[in-house]
Structure 1
Amino acid sequence: MTALATPPVTGRPAGSSPHLLRWLLRLHRPALLAWTVFVLVLGGLLLWVGGPLTEGAVEGWKQYHACETGGCAYDPSAVGRHKDWYMYTTFAVIGVPVLIAAWSGATLTSRELEHGTAQLAWTQSVSPARWLAAKLAVPAVLVAVGSGLLVGLHHWAWSTGQGRLDSAKSWYDVGTYAANGPATAAMALAALVIGALFGLLKRNSLGSLVGSLCGTGLLWSVMAIATPHLWPTVTKFSSLKNDVPQGSGIIVDQGLVTSTGAHVADPHCGGSGFASCQARYTELDAVGYYNDYHPQSHYWPLQLTATAIILAVTALLALAAFRLLRRQTGPSAPARKAAAV
């Protein structure tokens, strides 16, 4: 691998942390302002969804149920408006890691290496390792605070409709589950580091952008597949008189259980009250349904376990980024010695 040339250090004193922080904030001011506006606008929308929109939808459902016994009319627009804006804000919260990955991959490290501003910083008695640490630490704080706030507000907006709205999403709805928990905030931090790592690898904005988006998408997909298996499931057995296995939550596996206790695939025939279905179940020696799933009590164990894994992966990726930068720039000891002289 071709090493990045580290320009000779000038004789000026070592750059102070406040000076480096001001430089980073000035350099990324547009992104900082855009992120602040995004968080404020989306946060305001979530407050609107969980407040006035939810109350309006609750009243709309009350009118609907009142009309079930009479010939009155009701306005369904409040219910539809709540459903639409809940969906929009959910997608926006879920999309935070993608936005962070796109920005980080396109600008955080790659653009400065491409344009030479990183090398300029190294001439100001800022070592490559310290430069990268500052590049990651400052956005990480902003990303953690902003994404954490959005996730918390989304969870609140969702909870205000529970037990009050017939159209409220269940806790295990794919979008709701993702937007409600800290794993999405942890994924935003992972996206930041993935983008920085690809910026060091590719050293050009387009290649880093593509790589960071693909890397974030891969990690997200792996975690989505692995999450149901991060905690022991609950198994519920139910009668064949039901049309489907009983038990609601995140389904891991379900089917038929035989008289010997073996699990076989469910032919999805229906309840045993149908003669054809009863004959099919008799042929399979089925005596009931089984359902391996996660009830609502498993929500936080699943979320926190997934969050811990994502943060551990993020730490490993950050370590890989520092090791890669050291390989590219070489030992920084000579630079520190020159700075001292």
Structure 2
Amino acid sequence: MEVLWLTWRQHRMQVLVTTALLVVLGVVLLISGLGAAGFAAQNAPATDCVADTPACSAYRVEMNERIHSVGELLGWLPLLAPALIGAFWGAPLLAREFEHGTHQLTWTQSVTRRRWLAAKIVGLGAAVTLGGLVLAGIVEPWLAAFDVPPYNVDRFDMSWFRVVGIMPAAWWLSAFLLGMATGALFRRTLPAMAVTLGVCALAFFGLLRAPSSYAPPERAVQAQVIDELEPEDSLYVTSYWIDSSGAKFTSQERHLALAGPCGTDETTKKYAQCTFSHGYRQVVEFHPADRFWQFQWTEAGILLIPALSLGGVAVRRALRPRI
């Protein structure tokens, strides 16, 4: 109990600030979500909007403006939140103790080194994980308020993929462990914070479009004039054209090859029919919506396995006395 109280006294500022920011974000999302739900209840078209009528178009435009007014803020969270967690929660955890020499005082008391480390790492790691889950928990109902047909919210979209499900918790915890490891390595707070921020940024941009490669994509082939190939809520990967022999063509290459027999106006139904009559087929590669949780756990593993390994190295380094 004494160790937990000391951990709270040392890190209460990070806990209180993070909690306050989550509360503020929750209030913003609540106001936005209630506004969207009220608008949808009064204005959502009764039909399925098979035809692009003015009412359907106006509804989609308004909902799109509403979701993106707050969505631009949420779009920064997958980068900023883990970086700040790693820099201000993880990096000072051990670095500040070594830098100020307070670990020596702590380890001369009745509390063992292992117990001291376990209380700090497990306690703060659990708090960080809980904070990430809370973030996902307040974003999900906000998105649900907009997911009223004919407007569709695709949680597989990269705009939302890392702010729902287990992604915030996985990113926050991995950043925390990374910061702790750099703190144990450098034993200086500022260098540890700087390295943590840099690595978090590299990880974010390195994995930005990685989900499309977490599994082999499925393929849909268009052999007639239809609107969309990939199912709703799927993750788009790429599209291209093939001829009767299976050779791949870009849209520009196919356009040049058919300029003579089919003309150059690609917007007409006649041009599309001519394209298919010459043996060309459009192929779209995508991941279906039922892979959402598979990809969430895949990315969580990519983040947490090396982070836990670094955390283990940090613990061993912290427990080893310096000569």
Alignment pair present for 1:138 and 2:126: no
Counterpart for residue 181 of structure 2: 197
Alignment pair present for 1:251 and 2:251: no
Structure 1 pair 235–186 and aligned structure 2 pair: CA distance change class (3 A): same
* Structure 2 unmatched runs, 5+: none
Contact 1:190–1:310 (CA<8 Å) still a contact in 2?
A: yes
Cα distance between partner residues in 2 of 1:68 and 1:58? 16
Counterpart for residue 235 of structure 1: 219
Aligned residues: 301
Counterpart for residue 314 of structure 1: 307
Aligned residue identity for 1:28? H
Identity %: 26
Cα distance between partner residues in 2 of 1:242 and 1:196? 53
Counterpart for residue 150 of structure 1: 135
Q: Deviations over 1:264-287 (max 9, x none)?
A: 433276697951477xx98xx862
Aligned with 1:180 (options 143, 146, 164): 164
Counterpart for residue 297 of structure 2: 304
Aligned with 2:107 (options 118, 122, 130): 122
Structure 1 pair 123–327 and aligned structure 2 pair: CA distance change class (3 A): closer
Q: Secondary structure at the match of 1:174?
A: coil
Aligned residue identity for 2:35? L
Structure 1 pair 61–89 and aligned structure 2 pair: CA distance change class (3 A): farther
Aligned residue identity for 2:158? V
Q: Secondary structure at the match of 2:154?
A: coil
Aligned residue identity for 1:142? A
Counterpart for residue 32 of structure 1: 15
Cα distance between partner residues in 2 of 1:56 and 1:79? 15
Q: Matches of residues 1-341 of structure 1 in structure 2 within 5 Å?
A: 18-50=1-33, 52-58=34-40, 61-62=43-44, 68=54, 80-92=65-77, 95-164=80-149, 166=151, 169-239=153-223, 246-247=229-230, 249-267=234-252, 274-276=262-264, 287-327=280-320, 329=322
Aligned residue identity for 1:321? A
Structure 1 pair 315–231 and aligned structure 2 pair: CA distance change class (3 A): same
Contact 1:94–1:175 (CA<8 Å) still a contact in 2?
A: no
143-152 or 315-324, larger mean C-alpha shift = 315-324
Structure 1 pair 138–270 and aligned structure 2 pair: CA distance change class (3 A): farther
Quote how far apart the aligned CAs of 1:255 are: 1.0
Structure 1 pair 135–289 and aligned structure 2 pair: CA distance change class (3 A): same
* Structure 1 unmatched runs, 5+: 1-17, 331-341
- What's the TM-score, normalizing by structure 1? 0.75
Contact 1:105–1:211 (CA<8 Å) still a contact in 2?
A: no
Quote how far apart the aligned CAs of 1:188 are: 0.4
Contact 1:256–1:286 (CA<8 Å) still a contact in 2?
A: no
Structure 1 pair 83–230 and aligned structure 2 pair: CA distance change class (3 A): closer
Cα distance between partner residues in 2 of 1:165 and 1:98? 37
- What's the TM-score, normalizing by structure 2? 0.79
Cα distance between partner residues in 2 of 1:78 and 1:292? 28
Aligned residue identity for 1:112? E
305-314 or 145-154, larger mean C-alpha shift = 305-314
Cα distance between partner residues in 2 of 1:254 and 1:79? 25
